[in-house]
Structure 1
Amino acid sequence: MVKKIGIPSNNVLHANPRFGTNYVDYMQKNYIDGVANAGALPIILPIGDTKLAEDYINTVDALLLAGGQDVSPEYFGEEPHLKLAEIDHGRDDFELALVREAIRQEKPIFGICRGLQVINVALGGTLYQDLPSQYAGMTVKHNQYPTKWYMPTHHLVWQGHSWLDGVVDETALVNSFHHQAVKDLAEGLTLDATSTDGVIEAFSDELRHLYAVQWHPEMLLMAHPETQKLFNAFVAKI
């Protein structure tokens, strides 16, 4: 039977020339491609009431959390930093509820960029709200713009054996589009990789079926088809 992977949507919060005030929920095609090419069925979960989390998780076999806005610092007990970017309480509340429900139902979760951060916060961890101003040891460009999204730019430092063994090459470069990052890793999570300046780039928890990376494998798919192995490895965990 085909495995069903729920992907919580993002949404347009501002009027814009393309949609006007016709606010839409959406998900980038590359996430969908990564899941579909791994032989699973992607199902987009529109942002909704947290009370729907149980029903949504009941309908899928696993959860994939995508990138997007900053996570609000209220969820880890801080006031907003001067460099905090846009937040979306509705999305935060919904995804945090989905994570906790998926863990309760023992269904695997794969977090990408913001998704990694949401998992960490859901479990009691904290974030740097703005790396350039809060992380003193920063020597790597963690937001590679204007370099194209499909072009990897920095290395990983592996912290031990993990589900990524044989999935991501030991000397591989990854891409990087974030200014928030994990500060305090939540209890029970295993650190799998950092950047060369020590920023957390991957963690996992086999007991709770949690897997997360800070980079954007879905963006790399366009020019680096070997990145598909990451999605394949997650689907194999279901």
Structure 2
Amino acid sequence: MKKIGIPSNNLLHPNSHFGTNYVDYIQKNYIDGITNAHALPIVLPIGDPKLAKNYIDSVDALVLAGGQDVSPFYFGEDPQINLHETDSDRDAFEVALVLEAIKQEKPILGICRGLQIVNVALGGTLYQDLNSQYQGLKVRHNQYPTKWYTPTHRLILKRVSWLQNFLDDQSLVNSFHHQAVKKLGDGLQLDAVSTDNVVEAFSDESRRIYAVQWHPEMLLMKHPEAQKLFDTFVLK
């Protein structure tokens, strides 16, 4: 059984349940996607980037989940006025994990923020806020309050890629993001866009890097066919 490392997120603010007893966590839907693909999820708590080698040594592949905005520090910009919350500890840890997984030639899957982290780790850039920075925006890329599991916009597949295993040009996906890829990182190839040309997926088969901007783990709640994305990745 393959072991899939999935870095955690963490609560950064006090709340009514935990107070200031901060916790690391990962949403159950990611775990479901991995276990349903007959792999073993290993949650990696946010830690010192120097531990990246030890963590990647212990797993067969890496899945990067959604969460906070990625700091513009990684692509040489100051924070734009509409930037949301960032987490420098999580950014540094996940970038280190991506680079170590590439070094060890282990597969990587990025989901939403995970796609963005992979992109900046490889020298790409991001729109810090689509609504104010992206010209020609026509699609609602944050569908809230529409339910997480509801597909809301169409994809356009740009080339023959790993996506053909489970998607076509009639496929709909969900959408919960306001940051997006601006310039692709080194060696990455564009696989899919939204109908307003926002990057929705990229890959690099030679390094077994795969990433999507939507949330297949949320779609699993009502659309079991979304499992095919996790199944395809675990076989890589």
- The answer for the alignment partner of 1:3 in structure 2 is 2
Structure 2: tracts of 5 or more residues without a match: none
The CA deviation at 1:187 is 2.1
- Deviation readout 1:74-116 (Å, 9 max, x if unpaired): 1100000000000000000000000000000000000000000
1:143 partner letter: N
1:151 is matched with which residue? 150
Contact 2:157–2:168, Cα closer than 8 Å, also in 1? no
Shift of 1:172: 1.1
Q: Which residue of 1 aligns with 2:14?
A: 15
Partners of 2:187 and 2:96 in 1: CA distance = 19
Residue 120 of structure 2 corresponds to: 121
Give the 3-state SS of the residue equivalent to 1:15 in structure 2.
coil
- 1:107 corresponds in structure 2 to 106
What code does the residue aligned with 1:136 have? Q
Instruction: Provide, for residues 167-212 of structure 1, a one-character-per-residue CA deviation record: whole Å limited to 9, x for no partner.
Output: 1243111000000000001121010000000000000000111000
The CA distance in 1 between the partners of 2:232 and 2:167, in whole Å, is 10
Structure 2 residue 156 is the aligned partner of structure 1 residue 163? no
* Structure-2 separation of matches of 1:56 and 1:121: 21
What secondary structure sits across from 2:120 in the alignment?
helix
- Asked if 1:216 corresponds to 2:215, the answer is yes
Q: CA deviation at 1:120?
A: 0.3
Secondary structure of 2:201's aligned partner = strand
- Using the alignment, how far apart are the partners of 1:187 and 1:72 within structure 2? 19
2:26 paired with 1:24:
no
CA distance in 2, matches of 1:133, 1:40: 40
Q: After the TM superposition, which segments of 4 or more aligned residues of structure 1 sit over 2 Å from their partners?
A: none
Structure 1 letter corresponding to 2:44: L
Per-residue deviation, 1:31? 0.1
Q: Contact between 2:71 and 2:87, CA under 8 Å: does it hold in 1?
A: yes
Distance 2:172 2:129 in 1: 23
State the superposition RMSD in angstroms: 0.5
Contact 1:168 1:230 in 2 (8 A): no
| Percentage of matched positions with identical amino acids | 72
Distance, in Å, in 1 between the alignment partners of 2:41 and 2:87 is: 23
> 1:136: how far off?
1.1
C-alpha contact 1:168 1:227 (8 A) present in aligned 2: no
Aligned mates of 1:127, 1:39 — CA distance in 2: 34
TM-score by length of 2: 0.99
